[in-house]
A and B are shown apart, each in its own frame.
Chain A
Amino acid sequence: MQRIPTFRKGGVHPDDKKVLSCGHAIEKLPVPSELIVSLSQHLGAPAAPTKQKGDVVTRGEKIGVASGFISADVHSPVTGTIKEIRKVTLANSVSCDAFVIIPDEQQPEDAYQRVDWQAQKPEELLSVVKDMGIVGLGGATFPAHVKLTVPKGKSVDYLVINGVECEPYLTADHRVMLERTDGALTGIMIAARITDPKHIIIGVEMNKPDAIARLKERIAALGYPIDVMSLKMKYPQGDEKQLLKATIRKEIPSGKLPLDVGAIVCNIGTCYAVYEACAYHKPLMERVMTVTGECIATPKNILAPIGTKVADLIAFCGGFSTEPEKLVSGGPMMGFAFYDDQTPVAKGTSGILALPASKSVASTPCISCGRCVAACPMGLTPNRLYRNISHENYEEAMKLGLMDCKECGCCAYVCPAHLPLVHGMKTGKKMGRKKK
């Protein structure tokens, strides 16, 4: 019997709760009455604004330009007027300048012309990706043009496409694979043209059999050289390190990137955005996100403009069925809890969750049971890290590999003492960096 591929070390199996929203087709959100488009929707330096208060913007017009090597352009998702530029705090506590845009009553129809991307050179495609402000849509929002740039002297053996979506609740990528299959697959081929890999693999977890079947069917019909690999369900398989271990059985050394083992990992949603950018020159200004949770009346997968306020999304889903205890941007394991429903969504927002009160349990002292060590996919010792961090011994924690922690939350998920382990790791990283 063949073993179903997955990564070996650590990992947990949370209840995936995807049934709440996975059956709902993607719905387009009507243009909201106000959008808050932040200038820092990506990893790296915030974009520099190119418009001012009172300016009229059209849909797809560039309103912020990348202000550094790792940075990305920002485009207006609507035709309208800029009411003001003010400081906003995003769900991940990042505070930055944002455009407040009042959309016009009449929005123009999209009329993007098909471009023959096959005729373009890889460098041209790459500059289009940069120009259209594409960032990784899996959550880390790393600028796509930087990721797809292969440095001289390095070659790409594997282009691994991430269709895992291992976070519970989220079904946005699942719906993209089902409904936007051709676009996503073409996007993969565009990414392949830019990076020139030897093999292309899509990794999908087995809880999405319909997506796997659909991908296989369309790949056969279109004749693309793409392998679909069904993976065993295990969190955090959607992290690039775990995904590479599961698909190509390679481990990235500490502090290195996938490129150092000859691989590039790209999210399936990003591939669709690359397709729209290169085949239609349409900028990244809307994305599919899942609005779900036990407290949402009708959970949905929504195609919403970037900058939509969370309150508008929730209203579109029929409001709350019960008063939620917690709002989370992203998945429940790695997402960010926030409190203000006027917070705008950004390019990296894969979902909005409204969660009910869980049985509130106070944390108790660590009994060194070692469950966190067994669960850590990076092979760290979260109990020792946490002990050092709570005693302000950040240097020792750094020596124990704190910087390899990617805050996946497996340790906190299994901790019987309910210690805020991930919160501790984040604090340790912040303070450790400050000390240096």
Chain B
Amino acid sequence: MINILYAFLVVTGLGLLLGFGLAFAAKKLEVPKDPRLAQMEPIMPNANCGGCGYPGCAGYAAAVVAGEAPIGLCAPGGSELSRKMAEIMGLDSAPVSEKMVAFVHCIGSVATTNKDYRYEGMTDCNAASLLFSGDNSCKSGCLRLGSCIKVCPADAISRQEDGRIVVDPDLCIGCKKCTAVCPNGVIKMVPASATYVVACNNHESGAKVRKACSVGCIGCKICENKFPESGCKVVNFLSEIDYSSSQAQIVDAANACPQKCIVPMRGGDVEAGMNQVVAQRD
């Protein structure tokens, strides 16, 4: 009986002693934490995408509080987050950034784009690009092996039935991981508010593009010359849309495009346009 009592007293005594020790250490050796950091951490999107260049959301928040990073680098958070961060940091104005989303600037598929050879290697775009920049005759188009799908943290990229790779602009958080992994640079950022996009990445002359692909931009300048209000401008045989312009005639330009490569960014009738082109070609 006495033994149990001894054991009880020793353990209780130790517990109390160490407990006081810990409480004392916690007070005495406390590392002061910036209260702003505590405020900031819960409002971060916690996508941990790394798009800001810092190790995760907590890393970026700490860098902002320490004054090492500017506000506005967080693509998933956008302007809303910048505003909240500025509030916490006691700033008057926050940088307003337009939300950018990734878009695959290529609508080529097996039906439209010719192949140079039969590829039997790894299912990885960077692996395929080692061999003559991929098996497509078009050397700047989408290789359709889905390396971007693997790196996307938001599951915004998917493969269509005909093999085309498509980014869902509503799910995209704008972290740019896919633009970095794509060997042909076919994924580029466009404003989330864009309506139409030129879905081609080939800067070669029209004759060469026609040989490789039936839906590639041939640089015919119909969009630029006939529809000056469309915002289209042909640079190096490739039409580019100025998203800051009014783009009033962009729908007409898209309909007039002989290659049907000016496509609506959301929903839209990409397939119908392509089928039309394929039917004409056959």
Contact = CB atoms under 8 A, between A and B. Distances in A.
- Note whether A and B form a binding pair: yes
Given A89-B132, A392-B151, A420-B121, A339 B126 contact: no
A214 B151 CA distance: 59
**Chain A, interface size: which category?**
10 to 19
B127 interface: yes
B122 interface: yes
B150 A427 contact: no
A430 interface: yes
Nearest to A418: B120
A427 B126 CA distance: 7
Given A390-B122, A390-B124, A420-B122, A426 B130 contact: yes
Nearest to B127: A427
Interface size range on B against A: 10 to 19
Contacts of B122: 390, 420, 423-424, 427
Q: Is the interface of B mostly helix, strand, loop or mixed?
A: loop
Contacts of B130: 93, 423, 426-427, 430
A346 B117 CA distance: 22
A403 interface: no
B57 to A, nearest CB: 22
Nearest to A361: B120
A338 B119 CA distance: 11
A431 interface: yes
Contacts of A390: 122, 124
B132 A420 contact: no
B130 to A, nearest CB: 6
B278 interface: no
B127 A424 contact: yes
Interface in B102-146: 116-117, 120-122, 124, 126-127, 130-133
Interface string A394-436: 0000000000000000000000000010011011001100000
Given A392-B150, A392-B151, A427 B124 contact: yes
A423 B126 contact: no
A338 B151 CA distance: 30
Contacts of B151: 392
Contacts of B131: 93, 337
A426 B124 CA distance: 12
B127 A338 contact: no
A338 B122 CA distance: 17
Nearest to B125: A427
Contact of B121 (A89, A93, A360, A423): A423
Given A390-B122, A392-B151, A93 B132 contact: yes
Interface of A: 89, 93, 337-340, 360, 390, 392, 420, 423-424, 426-427, 430-431
Given A93-B133, A424-B127, A427-B127, 13 more contacts: A93-B130, A93-B131, A337-B131, A338-B132, A339-B132, A392-B150, A420-B120, A420-B121, A424-B122, A426-B127, A427-B124, A430-B130, A431-B126
Interface of B: 116-117, 120-122, 124, 126-127, 130-133, 150-151
Q: Which 3 A-B pairs have the closest CB atoms?
A: A427-B127, A339-B117, A423-B121
6 contacts: A93-B130, A93-B131, A93-B133, A339-B116, A420-B122, A423-B127
